[in-house]
Amino acid sequence: MSVADRITVAERYNGLAEAGDIESDDAQLELAEALDRILLEIRERRLTAKSSNLGWLFARKRKSAPAIRGLYIHGAVGRGKTMLMDLFFEQIAAERKRRVHFHDFMADVHGRIYAHRQALKRGETKQEDPIEPVASQLIAEAWVLCFDEFSVTDIADAMILSRLFEQLFKRGCVLIATSNVEPDDLYHNGLNRQLFLPFIDLLKSRVDVFSLDARTDYRLEKLQQLPVYLSPLNDETRIAMAKVWHEMTFGQIAHPNTISVKGRKIEVPLEAGGIARFSFDELCARPLAASDYHLIAHRYHTVFLENVPVMDEDRRNEAKRFINLVDMLYDAGTRLIVSAAAVPEELYISRKGPEGFEFARTASRLFEMQSVDYLSASRAAETEEHDI
């Protein structure tokens, strides 16, 4: 039996608490134990399947085999939802598992539906309805799905979710999701919402709903004790940034990601628990648009930006992108951790062109984004539509 088969979420959680990476919280521990119930059932299902070469076939046909109920976790920002789901995901020994941002999943689904319809036009399939074949593709790749930031704002998503998940659940899908809203508030005030309501009923029939009422926003507590703007750029600053990253991610394993935006791709060097880490060149020396920064600002509650240089007239394109980036992060209420070559008002030294005037506003915002008031402000925009 592998290490993953022997460690529970609660044990991993307690280990982090003992190491001082997190502060133990009764509500979080209760969630860890709820996730361990699912973890145990998944392990038992895998052991049953391994008992026969045709275990999966029998498991699918066996009417008496109870479905594994998933978990829908909702609560305020910074309470540890994503951290605990990630600890759970790490412990799943099954190969066919997937941890994905909900909007990325739906972008993938729409892409598969489009591909099926194109195949139908070419005469490569006679099945007109794409939902069943798409569900079969998805379940063949992963039967345990972990969604981060479940938030339905797009009518195209809303109209297919019930039919899609009816097929996924029928095929044995186990769903674990985090969200800022409870299930009954999904797609709130959405267009033709009455057509979406069957999905809410289906969801609640296949998952347990857990309200994570942890006592505080732990990331905010950490941020209030840590520097969020570090300068100048030297070894001390690099070490400090690494420390802040470790504290803010609670020591979670970070990984790269790629965000698809209308056929284009944004490379995210590192992300963990709703936090992304970029260098200045990765965000501002590349031809990214304001819409790209809007997506990043609403996707992540915290962004790390490293190695911001002093800019002059020769780098006015980078300065303009930096201005747009800060504007989008500020408007979204996204927390920003920066390492820079100079204090905000000295980052742009040219007085030619409109960038000099615009950068004065950017410097002011960078100062405000370090304030306790800004850091503690709610992320009301987190449920806003992601333009994917």
Per-residue pLDDT tens over the stretch 285-311: 999 998 899 889 988 889 999 999 999
pLDDT beyond 60 at 58: no
Q: pTM of the predicted model, to two decimals?
A: 0.67
Element housing 361 (H / E): helix 355-368
pLDDT of residue 3: 44
pLDDT at residue 113, rounded to an integer:
95
Instruction: List, for residues 5-47, the tens digit of each pLDDT value.
Output: 468 999 999 998 888 877 888 999 999 999 999 999 998 887 7
User: 218-383, what's its fold?
Assistant: Rossmann fold (3.40.50)
In this predicted structure, what is the pLDDT of residue 52? 52
pLDDT at residue 388 in the model: 30
Q: What angle do CA 165, 170, 111 make, to 5 degrees?
A: 40
Region 3-211: CATH code:
3.40.50.300
Place of tokens 């001390």: 236
Specify the domain boundaries for CATH 3.40.50.300 within the chain. Answer: 3-211
Interval 251-272 mean pLDDT: 83
Which pair of tokens denotes residue 180?
A: 């800022």
Residue 313: pLDDT band (50, 70, 90) is confident
Q: What CA–CA distance (Å, rounded) separates 101 from 94?
A: 20
Range 185-208 burial, b when 16+ CB lie within 10 A, else e? ebbeebeeeeebeebbebbeebbe
> Does 385 have pLDDT greater than 50?
no
Q: Is the pLDDT of residue 386 over 70?
A: no
**Is the four-CA dihedral 282, 285, 288, 291 of positive or negative sign?**
positive
Asked if residues 58 and 105 have their Cβ atoms less than 8 Å apart, the reply is no
Looking at the chain, the whole-number percentage of residues with pLDDT higher than 90 is 54
**What does the alpha-carbon distance between residue 77 and residue 143 come to, in Å, rounded to a whole number?**
28
Residue-level pLDDT at 277: 97
Locate tokens 């052991």: which residue? Answer: 47
